[in-house]
Amino acid sequence: MNKVFVLIVASFFIFFAYGGELPKTSFEPKAGVEVSDISDSDSAPDSEAPLYKTEKVKIQCGRDKVNTELYYPTTGSNWPIVILLHGSHPKRTDAYYDVMAIDLAMHGYYCVFPHYFERNKKGRGTRSEWMKTIGSAIDFAQKQENVNKEKVAVIGYSLGAFLILGYAPTDTRINCVVAFYGGLSPCYNDIASEHMPPTLLLHGTKDRIVPARRSLEAFKTLREYGKPVSVVIYPDVGHGFTLHKKGEWDDSVSLDSWERTLTFLNYYLNFPSWTPEVSNREYDLALLSENPEKEKDPFEPKKFETPYLDKVYDCGEKLYIDPQGEEYSKVMKESQLP
């Protein structure tokens, strides 16, 4: 009885000490979650615990050591690896790369962001050295704890997109590629015909630095080779739409393209997916056929049902997704420089 009496007295003391109100906890359910949905076993999250971690390291690339940022989750393990490649002016857009790298870590990826221009003491290096840096970054990442060595993706922007589209056919460790406003240089066509991981190309028709035709040509070439590739073209959008903010249009396109990127990575790195490499006959150049309706559709919806091509955000005008026939010709014309 004495113990019960003491507990009752202590309870009243706490009650009046807080002005007649019980102290509030810092734990509140997420928006859209009913209190009844929370089980007794759920505990309040530690608001101070970070969800990701960053590190600055130097990666050995040939004779050079390249400054590199690492971004990864603070919980879990078996993280897929994502190499992030900047464009030709990384200092102008470092803040945006940082945001994207953090988001990748928040989605459960081990992100490596190498400053590949730091090759060769005499300058910023050569294209060959930059491409070899991709391999060195993968080498480094695969030696780290808690990563999935078998799951590797590369995301490239502008110059970085050109580099990865040229390098990916040479490295079978790469599971998939995302290329923003880049292209496949013709000198790599032959090797790409032998091997190319699943590829997502993203571009804007008003790009005055790298014309959208470069992504369209890469799409056409890889499809002719029977490689799993898709392209999304945004009308009236210029270069670097994920690396700057100039109005609502750029914002919506940035959100759309980034969401497609995350879905693409999820599709090829986290869930079973089939990535067919089929004969050229199944892609019988309906892409540029004068009468595509009379031929077998090589892009049968059931066969190429991919979530990263679904509508994500309302970007205003109709997007061009895997254009073919007349639509391909139309978007090629729209993307010509004046």
Q: How far apart are CA 99 and CA 242, in angstroms?
A: 11
Q: What is the structure's pLDDT at 9?
A: 39
Residue 262 scores a pLDDT above 90? yes
Residue 273 scores a pLDDT above 70? no
**C-alpha triplet 132, 210, 250: angle, nearest 5°:** 110
Residue 158 scores a pLDDT above 50? yes
pLDDT tens sequence across 64-95: 888 999 999 999 999 999 999 998 876 666 78
pLDDT above 90: percentage of residues in the chain: 51
Q: What is the structure's pLDDT at 124?
A: 72
Beta bridge partners of 81: 110, 152
Residues 117 and 124 sit within 8 Å (Cβ to Cβ): yes
* Residue tagged 């067919």 (tokens): 276
Residues 66 and 117 sit within 8 Å (Cβ to Cβ): no
Q: What is the structure's pLDDT at 321?
A: 92
Q: How far apart are CA 321 and CA 303, in angstroms?
A: 16
Q: How sure is the predictor about 49, in pLDDT bands with cuts at 50, 70 and 90?
A: low
Domains of the chain: 52-284 (3.40.50.1820)
Q: Is the dihedral of CA 298, 301, 302, 305 positive or negative?
A: positive
| Residue of 194 and 275 predicted with greater confidence | 194
Mean pLDDT confidence for 132-145:
96
Q: How sure is the predictor about 313, in pLDDT bands with cuts at 50, 70 and 90?
A: low
Mean pLDDT confidence for 200-209:
92
Mean pLDDT confidence for 300-307:
53
Mean pLDDT confidence for 245-256:
67
Q: What is the structure's pLDDT at 310?
A: 80
Q: What is the structure's pLDDT at 126?
A: 83
Type of residue at 185 = S
Residue 55 scores a pLDDT above 80? yes
Q: What is the structure's pLDDT at 316?
A: 62
